[in-house]
Structure 1
Amino acid sequence: MHTPAPLAVLGLVALATTAIVCGDTAGKLLTEAGVRPLFVAWSRFALAALLLAWSLGLRRSNLRDLLDWRLILRAALIVGGIGSIMTALRTEPIANVFGAFFIGPVVAYALSALLLRERVSWARTAMLALGFGGVLLVVRPGGEMGTGMLFALMAGGFYGSYLTATRWLAPFHPPSFLLASQLVIGAILLLPAGLAGIPASADLRIWTLLIVNSLASAFGNYLLVVVNRTTPATVSAPLIYFQLIAATLIGFLVFGDWPEPLALVGLAVIFASGLGGLALVPRSQTP
């Protein structure tokens, strides 16, 4: 298997992460409007499953595959990640949440090396360590760290594990089925919380935000599945840091939030580590 050119991988990851940030921005707007975070998370899975599962190749003939414990584990990881980040976004600025969330690439890198035996290098490890230092500047453990930031760190841990599980299962299933499986299984896992959190009333704005929250995230995650099918997680993990650009800009444009100086330094350090990781990606690599 050959890794695509770094710029091609970067383009896909940048588009994917921007779409995911747009979905999470819609989710934050929903929670600020009083919609419960777990209902937002459930609606993301349920609406996307209803609209996309059939077109993604889910058929009666392969429904039995959804009982595969590996697919259920992968879906549970992304459910935990989305539920945690929706909870974090309820009280924290979006850029800060994504700064803490970027513990995920470190988790993905470590798990891919330990469990999937993917190759690592001292240089790439140093870049991720630099990124972890940036996360600490954003989170400031022991200082002004609130409950929302704890949920953001949890989301990053879940998401890094999910990225590793995606890389693990990518050789066995096409990207479309992997996405369809996480949407359907995720909707089922969150069904009790979703039903308990249905808003008493929902206007056109709420429904529009629910659709954006669902479809933008599904599109972004589909692109990441495509990337993980052809690119080792130890290569693609640092590129996820480009999500910070979208999170910072959209957070400012939509919510008027601009990171505090120390947090901004941390975000810059995280982004620099992503650039360093990109510079280490060879033109082709055989995992």
Structure 2
Amino acid sequence: MTKAILIMLIAMSFIPAGDAASKVLTSQIGVAPIYVVWTRFAIGALILLPFTWRAGLAVWRDWRVWFRSAIIALGISCITQAFKLAPLADVFGAFFIAPMVSYILSVWFLKERTGAVQSVLVVLGFVGVLMIVRPGFDTSAGLGWALIAGCCYGLFLTVSRWLAGQVALGGLMLTQMIGPVVLTGPFVIGNFPEMTTEIAWLTLYSSVGSMIGNVLMLFAYKMQEASKLAPFVYFQLISAVLLGWLVFGDLPDALTIAGMALIIAAGSAVALLQSRRPIAARA
């Protein structure tokens, strides 16, 4: 268990690090966000293609695969725009509306069973997001983009669970990369920057950092049950705060930190309840 937790913590550090590189590209160097989005998927597709191309061939005729690709393409486009306009930690905090959206859609669309305690915890997590975003008060355009990205990702998680038993994992992984490359391709034309060594390295790190994080997370899930590792997903918020401070000199205010703490507490409690449910059922 200790090894799986360590791998999970490393994974949850790589993902914000890749996003920090995206923020440097868009907010400091002035690279078009659509370039960052397209290269992120394109590089990921090139890395995955040798390992998953056979599984990917069989699934492209399923319209749901294209729908899933469009959702993740829109979500990453929105969060990349958010990174350009708002602090890293604040964006991650607003983005964590995703688990709540996924929870609601899973109950409504997938007919998953839930309990009153879990529903209350999800509402508390949403309150935490509101403490970060503060609609009608200090809301910035960047946090608005982050909320849209979070909603897209929540829908993406639900659709992924819908397809998980019907489409091979390799096919899902590959189409998750190639689909957005095709869908965003027309928009990246004319938005390629004049390439420098700095842009090249940051582009590579933005893509590979995120991919390493997701691959390590899969390794951790193979070692331990997902429900036991789920609370450590929220380590991304802590990593985002540290990276925002070290790289950009941004520190969240007290209300934002309180909102993040509430999100972590509520999300971890939901994961704990889910991990105990099979035991209760057997009893």
- What TM-score, normalized by structure 1, do the two folds share? 0.86
Aligned-pair CA distance for 1:284 = 6.9
Question: For residue 251 of structure 1, what is the aligned residue in structure 2?
Answer: 244
Q: Residue in 2 aligned with 1:50?
A: 46
For the structure 1 residues 81 and 221, does the alpha-carbon distance in structure 2 shift closer, same or farther, using more than 3 Å as the test?
farther
Cα distance in 1 between the residues matched to 2:120 and 2:134: 21
How many angstroms does 1:155 deviate by?
0.3
What residue number does 1:163 align with?
157
Q: What is the identity, as a one-letter code, of the residue corresponding to 2:36? A: V
Corresponding residue number in structure 2 for 1:30: 25
Give the counterpart letter for 1:46 in structure 2.
A
Please show how residues 122-141 of structure 1 align to structure 2 within 5 Å.
Answer: 122-141=116-135
Answering whether residue 75 of structure 2 is matched by residue 66 of structure 1, we say: no
User: How far off its partner does 1:13 sit?
Assistant: 5.2
Counterparts of 2:204 and 2:45 in 1: how far apart (Å)?
A: 12
Task: Indicate whether 1:17 and 2:33 are aligned.
Answer: no
With 242-251 and 61-70 compared, the bigger mean Cα shift is at 61-70
Candidates 70, 73, 78, aligned match of 1:84? 78
Stretches of structure 1 lacking an aligned partner (at least 5 in a row): none
Which residue of 92, 97, 100 maps to 1:103? 97
Q: Aligned ranges for residues 137-156 of structure 1 at < 5 Å?
A: 137-156=131-150
Per-residue Cα deviation, 1:51-78 (whole angstroms, up to 9, x for no partner)? 32122x213x852522321111111111
Deviates more, 1:151-160 or 1:19-28: 19-28
Aligned counterparts of 2:10 and 2:167: Cα–Cα separation in 1: 23
Secondary structure in 2 matching 1:58:
helix
User: How has the CA–CA distance of structure 1 residues 222 and 110 changed in structure 2, closer, same or farther, with 3 Å as cutoff?
Assistant: farther
Query: 2:269 is matched with which residue?
Result: 276
Q: Which amino acid aligns with 2:243?
A: I
Letter in 1 for 2:70: A
Within 5 Å, which residues of 2 pair with 1:164-183? Answer: 164-183=158-177
Residue 285 (structure 1) aligns with: 278
Deviates more, 1:210-219 or 1:38-47: 210-219
- Shift of the alpha carbon at 1:12? 6.2
- Counterpart residue type for residue 164 of structure 1: T
Shift of 1:198: 0.5
User: Which residue in the other structure is 2:199 paired with?
Assistant: 206
Letter in 2 for 1:43: T
Post-superposition offset of 1:271: 1.6
Which has the larger displacement, 170-179 or 260-269? 170-179
For 2:169 and 2:232, locate their aligned partners in 1 and report how far apart those are by CA, in whole Å. Answer: 19
- Which residues of structure 2 form unaligned runs of 5+? none
What one-letter code is carried by the residue in structure 2 that aligns with 1:31?
Answer: T
Calculate the aligned-residue CA RMSD, in Å.
2.7
With over 3 angstroms needed to count, the CA separation of the structure-2 counterparts of 1:171 and 1:113, relative to structure 1, is same
Q: Which residue of 2 aligns with 1:40?
A: 36
Q: Do 2:56 and 2:170's aligned partners in 1 also have CA atoms closer than 8 Å?
A: no
- Partner residue in 1 for 2:108: 114
Q: Call closer, same or farther: CA 1:252–1:207 in 2, change over 3 Å.
A: same
1:94 is matched with which residue: 75, 85, 88? 88
Letter in 1 for 2:252: P
TM-score (norm 2): 0.87
Q: Classify 1:65/1:278 alpha carbon distance in 2 versus 1 (closer, same or farther; 3 Å).
A: closer
| Identity %, equivalent residues | 39
